[in-house]
Structure 1
Amino acid sequence: MGIYEFSAERINGQEVSLEKYKGEVLIIVNTASKCGFTPQYEDLQKLYDRYKDKGLNILGFPCNQFGEQEPGQNQEVETFCQLNYGVNFPLFSKVDVRGSQAHPLFHYLTMNAPFTGLVDKPGGRMLHAKLQAEHPEFLIDDSIKWNFTKFLIDREGNVVKRFESVEAPFDMEQDIEALL
């Protein structure tokens, strides 16, 4: 089983099989418009612009599960991303990414790229402390911990690596280049 077994609804309501992205290197990321990590949209777009002609695509999945930081409807999310960050990589409809209602794709991603910790990453101690104080249940499994968790997928649809929220998009660049 790989990511091509899944489908998801694009932000415009169209259902799309992820098989559409077969042969591309992908970054799959859960996003939010009112998060301290929201400026990562800018660098994600820069990575997309830099590598899209070499086979990189980015799939953004808005999510409102973390601090209710994505309260808008799909159209509002799309407009925000385009106006504020020039986002033109594919955005999908809002989904849950953790818990019993999580989109099956995100269950698959977290099973294949377990949580590797936060405290050893720049900025990770603060997020870890926040989660420990406010959501200790988030730290007990491999589920997504916060907005802007990024998963790198190879051209065959295999999950290669997970990058936590505190890791900047350009921290992935060397791994992206290796797959392209």
Structure 2
Amino acid sequence: MNTKFSDKQFVVLGFPCNQFGAQEPGSDAEVKAFAQSKGVKTPPFYLFSKIDVNGDGAHPLYKKLKEASGSGDLEWNFGKFIITKGDSVKRYPIRTAASATIPDIEAAQ
């Protein structure tokens, strides 16, 4: 998808989280190295520091994303949100393939 939209104003933001089965226990440097070993390249994919996405300690960004999309806590890893230039937010179920978001990305361009 990064290649498909490389000439557009499109970026992917990744926020590692260790709240789901302790699947992300490493340091930020270890998480980044693992992502790079799997072919994740920056830009247009930006990997941020590990945060909490649920509960009292949830990062303010995720509080806002969940509120704006009218949804509750994330159930598992790889939650997907699309934020358009107009600040509308759409959330996808965790099992949604990234390719299934393409029509919404194209509509937002």
Task: Give the TM-score taking structure 1 as reference length.
Answer: 0.57
Q: CA deviation at 1:112?
A: 1.1
Q: Which amino acid letter does the alignment assign opposite residue 157 of structure 1?
A: D
Partner residue, 1:61: 15
The structure richer in helix per residue is 1
The answer to whether the aligner puts 1:74 opposite 2:28 as a matched pair is yes
Counterpart position of 2:107: 178
* Paired AA for residue 54 in structure 2: R
Match of 2:73 among 143, 146, 159: 143
Query: After superposition, where does 1:88-103 map in structure 2 within 5 Å?
Result: 88=42, 89-103=45-59
Does residue 94 of structure 2 align to residue 165 of structure 1?
A: yes
Partners of 1:158 and 1:107 lie apart in 2 by 15
1:59 is displaced (CA, Å) by: 0.6
Match of 1:112 in 2: 68
Q: In structure 2, the residue corresponding to 1:48 is in which secondary structure?
A: coil
Gaps of 5+ in 1: 1-46, 116-141
Distance in 2 separating the partners of 1:179 and 1:164? 19
CA distance in 1, matches of 2:3, 2:30: 23
Aligned residue in 2 for 1:48: 2
Q: Which residue of 2 aligns with 1:152?
A: 82
Secondary structure of 1:166's aligned partner: coil
Do the aligned residues in 2 keep the contact of 1:147 with 1:165 (CA within 8 Å)? yes
What's the % identity of the aligned pairs?
Answer: 43
Secondary structure at the counterpart of residue 101 of structure 2? helix
- Larger CA Rg, structure 1 vs 2: 1
Task: Report the AA paired with residue 145 of structure 1.
Answer: E
- Deviation of the 1:173 alpha carbon: 0.4
CA–CA distance in structure 2, aligned partners of residues 53 and 153 of structure 1: 18
CA offset digits 1:37-81 (Å, max 9, x no partner): xxxxxxxxxx11210211111110000000001011000111111
Amino acid at match of 1:101: G
TM superposition outliers: structure 1 runs of 4+ over 6 Å = none
What TM-score do the two structures reach when normalised by structure 2?
0.92
- CA displacement at 1:148 relative to structure 2: 0.6
Q: Report which structure shows greater RCO (CA 8 Å, sep ≥6).
A: 1
RMSD after superposition: 1.1
Structure 2: unaligned runs, 5 residues or longer? none
- Aligned pair count reads 107
